[in-house]
Structure 1
């Protein structure tokens, strides 16, 4: 299972960054090309559900793209939330972790363990797709750092 681990520092405290992170319905303000909606339990706590659509948004329409359904499997506020991706295309695990920084602020670590689709073809294609996927995640992380620092607290 391929794993991707990326991180960013933010001036937001872990508590402030956590509040920004788990405001799922606003996640599209920092996550590239993605809209997220909380389901069961409002996406708060173990057993909470999330649905994200990543793709293109045409004027006046909903986002068209890949549906990524998730189940929250770990909730350690304000440090870590783990999800299991349960969709048809996106499968595997994801972890959002917030670590306090000496002197203030926090480090946001995003880990994805992906169960690639399309069998052998997916595994062979991963080295080609990984740099683009990582670049999108890194851009989202940079946007999160700014978003979290400005998030109401």
Structure 2
């Protein structure tokens, strides 16, 4: 498995960051070459399902996900319960889990952390090169979380 976390402090309240973070189709605004479509009537809560399609032409792949943990932040003040969402990835190319946390901070700010714990097909790639896959993932998702932060802070 390849495991990495990217985190960023954002100049926005936790509840505002959460609302944007779990608006699954908006992930396509920050993740290059990606579109997201929700498969269930409700996009939020445990059991919600969506598919991220990443890539171009014959190099594109689907990354189907199901929400397995869902706890919105209880408020925007330090000491309020952080938001937490976990999704299970069940695709042919990427399998594993992603975890998002949104922690309220002083001054109507928050800290957003995005953790990926994934295996890439063929699985022997991740088994033998997990640290390199994690390094590449960390670099790519650092760009993603910066784009997410700009989006949230503009609101």
- TM-score w.r.t. the length of structure 1 is 0.86
C-alpha contact 1:41 1:49 (8 A) present in aligned 2: no
1:73-84 equivalences in 2 (<5 Å): 73-78=68-73, 79-84=83-88
Aligned counterpart, 2:44: 44
Q: Distance in 2 between matches of 1:119 and 1:64?
A: 18
Query: C-alpha displacement at 1:9, in angstroms?
Result: 1.1
Q: Distance in 1 between matches of 2:134 and 2:47?
A: 29
Over the aligned positions, Cα root-mean-square deviation in angstroms equals: 1.9
| Structure 1 unpaired stretches of 5+ | none
Deviation sequence 1:82-121 (CA, Å, 0-9, x none): 1000111110011111011122211110011113432333
Query: C-alpha displacement at 1:34, in angstroms?
Result: 1.6
- TM-score w.r.t. the length of structure 2 is 0.85
Aligned counterpart, 1:71: 66
C-alpha contact 1:69 1:87 (8 A) present in aligned 2: yes
Aligned counterpart, 1:97: 101
Q: 4+ residue stretches of structure 1 with deviation over 3 A? A: none
Q: Distance in 2 between matches of 1:17 and 1:28?
A: 16
How many correspondences in the alignment?
A: 146
Give SS of 2:60's match: strand
Give SS of 1:19's match: helix
Aligned counterpart, 2:125: 121
Query: C-alpha displacement at 1:66, in angstroms?
Result: 1.7
1:23-42 equivalences in 2 (<5 Å): 23-42=23-42
| Structure 2 unpaired stretches of 5+ | 74-82
